[in-house]
């Protein structure tokens, strides 16, 4: 099953050696202040994403509608300071990426088209460009950016299969190009850019979606080098990625148990958390690793924090909330979440 993809993505597999560690100690995560309002009109459904900055500013975008395309809102927040602005774009937000200069890139789906828009920190909106017009209604996408350039990966259907496609202006220009070809279903892609390399994680499901493995690849602009990262249990899915100093931090759910792997110290090392959940988000700043996820019923948000080699963790929101994003800067984390019908943030 995997030989075709290895040949397509790169000339060799990425060596993976996993060293497991224990569960987090439930104690002193750096306290959060708030909640602070981000958007106070009805926003109980829809899609959104956030992007980190080294100085602690969180940038992101939201669609406050469910199945139908809605007006996309962009926001900037740092502590209690916030700004929200309606964009000229209509669609469902898939991903955002700040380019570490002055531009937020927003990847969104509009009907069967995939588009990327740019908004500057001064509030100027550029015309959105179209990357594909062949999206299924369930298409997923991810995005990174640097210095005014972007790299996007998304899913499209090829017959009964879901495959990964890409387009980029970062590390060279490339139009819509198919990445994977496999009889399985490639879904839930996530990108990160660090140290001149782009990392890509995704879930590879059986054709009937009865089980899934986790895959990871990296590229500097040429062929992808890929490896299967996790295959134990039934489902390894819903990945999240962060990067720092050229190292990759990969989180996902393994049958409801949140996992983290990173190669910050050289070989890949692993950690399994005892609080069950899904939709994890990972972020790294100032030598700290932050991980947040939605817990199982009653549906709160749990945050874990690593200082050196020590993990701490606690539930910061107890119930009835949805995680929009986790960012970090200056060694502190910011959570953006939906509560009832509002969007709010918690800030360390």
Over the chain (348 residues), what is each successive 10-residue block's mean pLDDT?
31 36 61 91 84 96 84 93 94 97 96 97 95 93 98 96 97 96 95 97 94 97 95 96 97 97 94 95 97 90 96 92 95 92 92
- 3-class state of residue 252 by DSSP: strand
Neighbours of 17 (CB within 10 A): 10
At 69 the pLDDT is 85
Q: Given the structure tokens 């062929």, which residue do they identify?
A: 223
At 314 the pLDDT is 94
| CA 17 and chain centroid, separation | 23
Pairing of strands 47-51, 321-329: unpaired
At 27 the pLDDT is 58
Neighbours of 3 (CB within 10 A): 8
Which token pair is 170?
């970062």
With 0.75 as the threshold, say if the pTM is over it.
Answer: yes
């Amino acid at each position: 099953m995997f030989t075709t993809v290895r040949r397509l993505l790169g000339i060799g597999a990425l060596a993976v050696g996993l060293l497991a560690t224990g569960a987090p100690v439930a104690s002193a995560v750096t306290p959060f202040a708030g909640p602070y309002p981000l958007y106070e009109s009805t926003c109980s459904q829809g899609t959104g994403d956030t992007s980190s900055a080294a100085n602690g500013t969180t940038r992101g975008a939201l669609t406050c509608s469910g199945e139908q395309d809605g007006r996309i809102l962009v926001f900037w927040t740092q502590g209690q300071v916030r700004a929200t602005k309606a964009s000229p774009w209509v669609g469902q937000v898939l991903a955002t990426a700040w380019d570490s200069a002055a531009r937020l890139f927003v990847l969104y789906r509009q009907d069967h088209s995939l588009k990327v828009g740019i908004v500057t920190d001064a509030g100027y909106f550029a015309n959105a460009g179209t990357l594909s017009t062949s999206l299924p209604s369930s298409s997923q996408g991810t995005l990174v950016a640097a210095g005014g350039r972007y790299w996007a990966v998304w899913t499209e259907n090829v017959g009964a299969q879901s495959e990964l496609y890409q387009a980029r202006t970062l590390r060279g220009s490339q139009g819509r190009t198919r990445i994977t070809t496999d009889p399985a279903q490639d879904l839930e892609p996530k990108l990160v850019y660090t140290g001149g390399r782009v990392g890509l994680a995704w879930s590879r499901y059986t054709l009937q979606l009865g089980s899934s493995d986790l895959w990871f690849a990296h590229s500097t602009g040429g062929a992808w080098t890929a490896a299967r990262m996790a295959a134990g249990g039934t489902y390894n899915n819903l990945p999240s990625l962060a990067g720092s100093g050229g190292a990759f931090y990969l989180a996902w759910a393994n049958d409801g148990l949140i996992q983290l792997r990173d190669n910050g110290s050289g070989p890949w090392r692993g950690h399994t958390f005892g609080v069950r959940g899904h939709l994890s988000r990972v972020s790294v700043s100032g030598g700290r690793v932050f991980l947040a996820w939605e817990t199982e019923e009653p549906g709160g948000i749990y945050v874990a924090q690593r200082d050196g080699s020590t993990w701490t963790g606690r539930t910061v929101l107890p119930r009835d909330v949805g995680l929009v994003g986790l960012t970090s800067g200056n060694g502190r984390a910011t959570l953006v979440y939906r509560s009832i019908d509002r969007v709010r943030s918690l800030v360390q």
